[in-house]
Chains A and B, each alone.
Chain A
């Protein structure tokens, strides 16, 4: 419940950004000097490039959420697809995919992501989403595969085979709908991971060029030694937002998992 509230709050913030933020994320404020401390008009101060940090944080919500959600969708779709195929087909296909998955999993995802983003360079929004999505499918695949393996043995799947369903039909009609709750819960958790991923990339300046995400703000802030010059809010506030949002998604995701899992064990 708490998780849901947190998430909703931030979604609201992101959606209502144009209304809530007094300035655009890249607008240079006319009435204050760059690197000014917080005042009433600029509650979080003004960045070294003359932008209102408060607005930036609000606008940042949008970016973080969009990238987070969409890349999680990409990762989930890939992961679920792979998991379904791997679990259902079994045999050497399953072995091959799982070994590959092991390899991918053994590389720290952060490192992998950074390397790929750096190599490709110059990413746009779609690019970032794809990069994060493509590096994040492994866990989902493994989880879904486990589910599929156990679902495969259920009696109603046997019945499906008996009446002559094609394998595709069985996967779509019987296996996937029963695995879906797990997919969904997993996807929520993946969102949390994706948001962090994006922030990391932004911090390293590998993210979308002109998008001001929280990671970027934090990067700028730490680049200008925000704490030592007395503008600690510049650094801390976006960081806090990040933590809270991710935490919110985690709570929500775990709660979902709990609710949905016992029902998967019906009766």
Chain B
């Protein structure tokens, strides 16, 4: 029903005004870094992971609360079209394929609109409008009135003229055949300059011809001066108005153009009815100034689903009933602060249900509720699934909950999926080292079920500095050569090992490039041998040493070279069960580490 393909959501990192001005490479918080999975109709799919893994961002991206940087969210794409999509995705650079893909994305992808940002041209056009309107609003009235021998210029006239000018320019500029285009920008700028230069001239001559005795001024320039002197306020208003109107009209027209070409507008309204989100915090997700009735009927109003107040009321009542708030009349006019946590969450659910969605994204819907209430809410959600055939995307950090609720589950780490499959496959027989560790540390309420806990050392890295290669490798208990070791990591580890047991003749380490570092050696040959020995001994505990490809003396120092790491792709190991790990990925590798 929903196919997520290579979804990326990157947030720009704000570095403070000065650094932004000075330029330099922008840094990104890579909240979601290429996530792909399918959710079948009617199933309950769980997205699990610790904080910062990107699961909430995925939910938000699906509801368009954040803009996807790349990737597609394909909604109900028929099978054949999907095959076409896959095909054309593989062919890069082929313009026909690109066009087909474009078209398919336009029809089925929720991320389509976001791919059309304002281009430089459009921005230039807008600027041109503003400039032209500015100039025109000053000069045109003066020019015209000069011709008409009207003895005064007032701010009202300027105002009116500027509105007209602004609107005309804005409208004209975006109509076909003139598209928001560099050419248009040039044309309009020229128009503005022309107006400035040309118009006063005939007016001047006209005046001279008429003797100009009955007019207080002899040329339009003087008119302007008079107007400014008499009515500063009005003139300022006019000056502000014309460009604003022009800019506003132009921008609206350009956006309308964009929207008409995408999934936005009426289509999005339809989509909103089908996808809904239940928020995590029952206290925060309801407007304290709105009554329950208002909260639940707001989606109806905003999407203009019904206009008849009676019908609206009926829909609200039935939504409240379905959410378990009975009798609905008793709750309709209460305010959120009068309700308990569980009741508030039911209101959230009712508000989500009122549009009859097919698909609900639930972001930690019960984690802020008391334990005894949780089950009620979960049961409600399960019942709704049965009676209405709703498909759920359940986002949670609670693996125990995923175990009892989900059909299929994807485990995320730092913005990517590391393992995906049915709940039996992933939780009962986890294959990825992260999954194995995670499951081993989840506590059971039954003291007899104490497990051998695999506690990972350290903490997850910042999404700004995602490790190269496999993003889990710095904490992985079974990492090896291909996992993406970098010089600074290995050097640090080696430094630590040397601090514990120093080797004679081995001096400080220095990083040369991401895959190489050097150690001072005295002499280099024996230092190299000693290091090799140390590394071989400590490899099993200090996995970073697996990254070392060679330790050779060179030019009086010891040169340490590392294996180049590769990011493991998500590869299917069983039908429906995919893992992103080099150990597990290819059958040629020796049996993956089996943990307790």
Contact = CB atoms under 8 A, between A and B. Distances in A.
Interface of A: 154-156, 158-166, 169, 173-174, 177-178, 266-267
Contacts of A164: 268-269, 272, 299, 302-303
B298 A156 contact: no
Interface in B216-273: 268-269, 272
Interface stretch (B283-291, B393-401, B501-509): B283-291
Given A178-B287, A178-B288, A163 B298 contact: yes
A163 B302 contact: yes
A178 B284 CA distance: 13
Contacts of A165: 298, 302
Contacts of A173: 287, 290, 298
Chain A at the B interface: SS class: helix
Interface string B57-72: 0000001110000000
Which 4 A-B pairs give the minimum distances between C-beta atoms? Answer: A155-B284, A177-B289, A163-B299, A156-B287
A266 B287 contact: no
A164 B65 CA distance: 10
Interface residues of B, number: 27
Nearest to B299: A163
15 contacts: A155-B279, A155-B281, A156-B284, A156-B286, A159-B279, A159-B351, A162-B276, A163-B276, A164-B268, A164-B302, A169-B302, A173-B290, A173-B298, A266-B337, A267-B283
Nearest to A154: B284
A192 B277 CA distance: 46
A107 B58 CA distance: 49
Given A156-B285, A158-B65, A163 B279 contact: no
A39 B351 CA distance: 72
Given A155-B280, A155-B284, A161-B65, 14 more contacts: A155-B285, A156-B287, A159-B277, A159-B286, A160-B287, A162-B64, A162-B272, A163-B299, A163-B302, A163-B355, A164-B269, A166-B302, A177-B289, A266-B288
Nearest to B298: A163
B298 A158 contact: no
Most chain A CB within 10 A, of B299, B303, B351, is at: B299
Interface in B288-309: 288-290, 298-299, 302-303
A232 B311 CA distance: 71
Contacts of A166: 302
B347 to A, nearest CB: 11
Interface of B: 63-65, 268-269, 272, 276-277, 279-281, 283-290, 298-299, 302-303, 337, 348, 351, 355
Q: Is the interface of B mostly helix, strand, loop or mixed?
A: loop
Given A164-B269, A164-B272, A266-B337, A159 B302 contact: no
Nearest to A266: B288
A222 to B, nearest CB: 34
A158 B269 contact: no
A266 B269 CA distance: 33
A226 to B, nearest CB: 39
A174 B288 CA distance: 9
Nearest to B337: A266
A178 B298 contact: no
Contacts of B302: 163-166, 169
A110 B269 CA distance: 52
Contacts of B284: 154-156
A163 B288 contact: no
A135 to B, nearest CB: 14
B356 to A, nearest CB: 13
A155 B63 CA distance: 14
Contacts of A159: 277, 279, 285-286, 348, 351
Contacts of B277: 159, 162
Nearest to A169: B302
B20 to A, nearest CB: 13
A174 B287 contact: yes
Nearest to B348: A159
A167 B290 CA distance: 17
Contacts of B337: 266
A158 B303 contact: no
A173 B291 CA distance: 12
Contacts of A160: 287, 298
B414 to A, nearest CB: 24
A167 to B, nearest CB: 12
A164 B271 CA distance: 10
Contacts of B64: 162
B455 to A, nearest CB: 33
Contacts of A155: 279-281, 284-285
Nearest to A153: B284
A166 B304 CA distance: 12
B303 A163 contact: yes
Contacts of B268: 164
Contacts of B286: 156, 159
A149 B280 CA distance: 22
Given A174-B287, A178-B287, A162 B281 contact: no
Contacts of A177: 287, 289-290
Contact of B65 (A154, A156, A162, A267): A162
Of listed A156, A161, A173, residue having the most chain B CB within 10 A: A156
A155 B284 CA distance: 5
Contacts of A154: 284
